[in-house]
Amino acid sequence: MANIKKFDLIVIGSGAGEDVAVEAAGHGLKTAVIEKGALGGTCLNRGCIPSKMLIHSADVVEVIKSADLFGIKVKGYEIDFSSIIKRVSNAVDGDSKSIENALTSGNNPVLYHKEGEFAGKKTIKVGNEIITADKILIAAGARPSIPNVPGLKESGYITSEEALRLKKQPKVMTIIGGGYIAAELAHFYGTLGTKINIIHRNEVLINREDNDIALRLTEVFKQKYNVYTGCEPTKVSKSGTVFEVEIKDKRGKMQVLKSDALLVATGVTPYSDTLKLEKTGVKTNERGYIIVDAYLRTNVDGIFALGDIIGKYLFRHSANHEARYAIENMVHSKQIPVDYRAMPHAIFTSPQIGSVGKTEEQLKEEKIEYLVGKYDYINTAMGSAIEDRTGFVKILVEKRTGKIAGCHIIGHEASTLIHEVIVAMKSGNGMIDNITSAIHIHPALNEVISRATYSIE
C-alpha cells in the first residue's frame, strides 16, 4: 500500500463542508478537502445560485409582459438566450475558481481536486494517494435521480445540471417531475417563450407543500403550461431531434407528447454509493442517505456527515446551518445538537412560494388541534397596487399553546415575506402574539402577514 498521509480532519465535498475545512485550518488543524468537481458544491455550480440568476431574467420578462396593467405600453423586446446563459455561467465559474484559488494559495487546507473513496477504516484513496484522519466530514451531496422508464436512459435527456447551461433555447420542453426544481425550470423556460409540458404522477404539483399552496400553484401553472397531473411516463423514444414521451393517466388513457428537449427532474440520489462507505463501516438508510444522530455523528466514531447526503433537508441554507454545528462538534470538540426549528424554504416560481413549519396536512396527521388564518394579497393596499390576484398567506397556530405551527405563502416576494414568521417562530416564545402585536408599515406588502394573523379562527 502507498504511504499514508495523515491529517487531523478530512472534508469530502466543497459546498457547505468548505466552511468547516477553513475553520479547522484556521484553528491549526491539518485539513484536507476532497472535491472531484467544480469548487463550491451543488448550490454554486448547478443548483440554487445559477438557477436563481436565470430565473431573475424570467421575472424581468414577466414585469415587461404585465406593464400594460400599470399604464405602460412596451413596444417589444427580444430574448437573447445565449447572453442570459453566458452571464450566469461566467459568474458561477468565476466564483468557483475564486474558491479554488483560495484553497490552493496556502498549505492548509490541502485541496485534492480528484475523486475520493474509502479504502479502509478512516482511510481514503484519492487518485494514487491514501490519506487518513481521526475526524472525517462527509459532505458530498447528491445528484439528480433518474426514474426507470423504458427508453429514457438512451434518449439523451437532460437534468437540471444541463438545463442551466443549454446553449440554445428549446422550442418545446417536456419535463418529467412536478417538484420545486421542475416548477422553477418551467418558469424560467416557459416565461422566455418555450412551450412547456409537465408530467407529474400526483394530482397537484409541488405536492409536499401545504395542499392549499400546491393547489394554487397547479391552478396558475395550468393556465400557462400544459400540465399533466395524475400521469406517468410509460415510454420514451427519440426520432431525429424530436423526443416522444408516452404518458398514461390513472384511467389508463394514453397520449404522446413531442418536444425538442426532455428534462428529468424527479428528485435526487445521494452520492453515498460512490464512496465505498462499507470499507469504513458508515451506515446508510434504505434510500442511501447517511444516518446521523442529532450531533451529525455517523455510527463510526469520528466520522460526521451533513447536507444533502444525510437527506434531512435538501437546501443549501440547511447545510450551512449544519456546518455551524459541525464546526462546534468537530473543530471545537463540543457536542451541540442541531436545532432545526423553523427551517424554511422557498420556491422561486411565479408566483413565489415561501414556507416554514408544519403544513395543515401534517398537523392533522399528528392530531394537533390548530387554528388557521388566511388572507389574500389583493385585499391589502400593496397587493392591490401590484395587482397580485392569486397570492395569499396561510398561517397555522397550535390551538392549545398559541404557538405558530407553520406559515405558507404564495405570491409576490413570498421568499422575503416568510422571514417575519421565521423570526417569530425561532426567537423568544414563538407565539403568534409576536406578529399581531408588531406594528406593520402601511401600505407595505407585509400587511398581508398581519392581516392573516387577525383572521385566525
Residues taking part in catalysis: 442
Beta-strand relationship, 142-144 and 129-138: unpaired
Name every residue whose Cβ is closer than 8 Å to that of residue 45 and which is 6 or more positions away in sequence.
37, 38, 92, 96
Cα–Cα distance list, 251 to 156, 203, 231, 372, 410 (Å): 29, 13, 9, 35, 31
Q: What's the farthest any 2 CA atoms get from each other in the chain?
A: 75
End-to-end CA distance of the chain: give it in Å, rounded.
Answer: 69
Grid coordinates given for 175: 419535463
Give the up-direction half-sphere exposure of residue 158: CA atoms within 13 A in the CB hemisphere: 21
369 vs 367: CA distance, rounded Å: 6
Nearest to 43 by CA among 64, 14, 66, 20: 14
23 vs 314: CA distance, rounded Å: 23
Name every residue whose Cβ is closer than 8 Å to that of residue 327 and which is 6 or more positions away in sequence.
19, 20, 23, 24
Alpha helices in 125-263 (DSSP H): 160-163, 180-191, 211-224
435 vs 46: CA distance, rounded Å: 37
